Amino acid sequence: MSLPFFISKKYTQSKKQSKFISLISVIAISGIALGVAVLIITLTVLDAFEKAVEEKIINFNSHITITAFGDRNLPDYEIVIPKLDSLASPFAKSISPFVSKNVIVKSKNKSDGILLKGISKEIDNSKIDEYLTSGIFSFKDEKGNNGVIIGKKLSERLFAEVGAKLTVFSLRNDELPSYENPPSIEQFVVTGIYESGMAQYDDIAYIDLKTAQDFFDMNGQTSGYNIQVTDISKIDSLSEHLQNNLRYPFFVRTVYKMHQNIFTWLDLQKEPVPIILGLIIIVAVFNIIGMLLMIVLEKTSDIGILKSLGANRKLITNIFVLQGLYLSFFGIVIGNLLALIISALQKYFNIISLPGQIYFISSVPINFDLYNYLLVSVVAFVLSIAAAFIPSLIAARTKPISAIRID
């Protein structure tokens, strides 16, 4: 064991002979640990929040959505999909048609206006089944009746559980009802209930595509098409390519354009992060500097004795730099463990919840990313080295005679 390391370790672990130093060490380690933990948790939550919101939006909308200008209907998918597949190849992972209309739904005691979507269970590229909380992902009940899958928020408003009957009312052919054109009325049985955690999606009801086409009297037409891509980096170029090659009334939009307000809001959440992180880092740096300066003042007589025994400036500097790194190392390790424990508790027990109608998710998300832990740890350690040099150089410049006289 080298002499600087031995002395710095003794200073850090001193007990009865200098309780003041031990208290300073505890405060310094606690400050570093708290700063590291806050930094890691902040980055972890921000990354997870963006990914969680983006994933849910894509799961319910797909990467690219093709609709018609003026809310018109598009041709039968058996005609359109081969053309889309040809234009989108090789970047299209899947293409699925959908029907989307506003309707009025009535349960036994309640009624509400909702968005009703028709999808094909066999070729649909959404992942609604992953969010089911009760029932099954099926558009037929056990008796063969038409089934509907509804969001949890809608289920709560209508007081409708799995097995409940819902009556749906809608315009036929998107025209005002008349004697010759009566409204469409049909009864469905709730076969499943899903919960996305995003209020705007938990108000949607899903039925079979063919059933929706018949219900709205669309003669095989659709409201649009969803496209999942194999490479997210190609989404903008593919969208532009499709729009340039599809004639009116096709209208091609990416998920980022359709929900531009949400993604802009997510970007705004990140803007104050560098300022906040910078302030935390500055506090941590000054914490190390202040801690070592107090130790230098406390150990001034020791520095004088060491210098009188022949210790040079380099040895004195190394003693206090090593002490700063010693405390920083333990602070960083404890901070990592603290961040890991808090993150695990939140991930598996959802201790902190969020209002879904505001934040689009119902609880604070956590994404365990080794990069965040390494980034914060390395930055903290490098800054600790820089911060430790300032008081160490002051200690090295102390004159032996003056230092001994202070005692």
pLDDT digit string (tens) for 244-270? 999 888 999 999 999 898 888 888 877
pLDDT band at 299 (very low <50, low <70, confident <90, very high): low
| Integer Cα distance of 35 and 175 in angstroms | 62
Quickly state the pLDDT bin for 60 (edges 50, 70, 90). confident
Q: How high is the pLDDT of residue 394? A: 73
Pairing label, strands 132-135, 184-194: antiparallel
**Which is it for strands 64-68 and 224-229: parallel, antiparallel or unpaired?**
antiparallel
| pLDDT at residue 223 tops 70 | yes
At residue 124, the pLDDT reads 83
Is 20 a residue whose pLDDT tops 70?
Answer: no
| Better-scored residue on pLDDT, 274 or 145 | 145
What pLDDT score does 407 carry?
A: 53
Kindly tell me if the per-residue pLDDT of 4 is higher than 70.
no
Listed range (152-161, 181-190, 207-216, 264-273) with the worst mean pLDDT:
264-273
User: In this model, does residue 156 exceed pLDDT 70?
Assistant: yes
Of the listed ranges 67-76, 226-235, 291-300, 316-325, the one predicted with least confidence: 291-300
Position with higher pLDDT, 29 vs 105 = 105
Three-state DSSP class for 366? coil
Residue 219, pLDDT > 60, answer yes
Is the predicted pLDDT of residue 322 greater than 90, yes or no? Answer: no
Residue 16 has pLDDT above 50, yes or no: no
Report the percent of the chain where pLDDT is more than 70: 86
Q: What is the pLDDT of residues 264-288, one digit of tens each?
A: 888 887 788 778 777 877 777 787 7
Which SS3 state, helix, strand or coil, does residue 332 take? helix
Is the pLDDT at 302 greater than 90, yes or no? no
Question: Rounded to whole angstroms, what are the CA distances from 46 to 52, 130, 258, 317, 349?
Answer: 10, 23, 22, 40, 19
Residue 404 is predicted with a pLDDT of 53
pLDDT tens profile 325-378: 888 899 999 999 999 999 999 999 989 988 866 777 778 899 999 999 999 999
Mean pLDDT of the chain: 85
pLDDT over 70 (residue 143) = yes
Q: What is the mean pLDDT of residues 41-68?
A: 89
In DSSP terms, 170 is beta-bridged to 184
Cα distances (angstroms) measured from residue 37 to each of 33, 47, 69, 319, 330 = 6, 15, 50, 27, 13
Tell me the average pLDDT across 78-104: 92
114 confidence band (pLDDT: 50, 70, 90): very high
Whether pLDDT at 45 is above 50: yes
Top mean-pLDDT range of 4-13, 52-61, 125-134, 140-149: 140-149
Separation between Cα atoms, residue 4 and residue 323, nearest integer Å: 9
Provide the pLDDT for residue 379: 87
Is the model's pLDDT at 300 over the cut of 80?
no
More confident residue, 297 or 230: 230
Residue 182 has pLDDT above 70, yes or no: yes
Name every residue whose Cβ is closer than 8 Å to that of residue 344 and which is 6 or more positions away in sequence: 366
Both tokens of 72, joined, read 């018109």
Does residue 18 register a pLDDT over 60? no
Could you please report the per-residue DSSP string of 274-317? HHHHHHHHHHHHHHHHHHHHHHHHHTHHHHHHHHHTT--HHHHH
Specify the pLDDT at position 74. 93
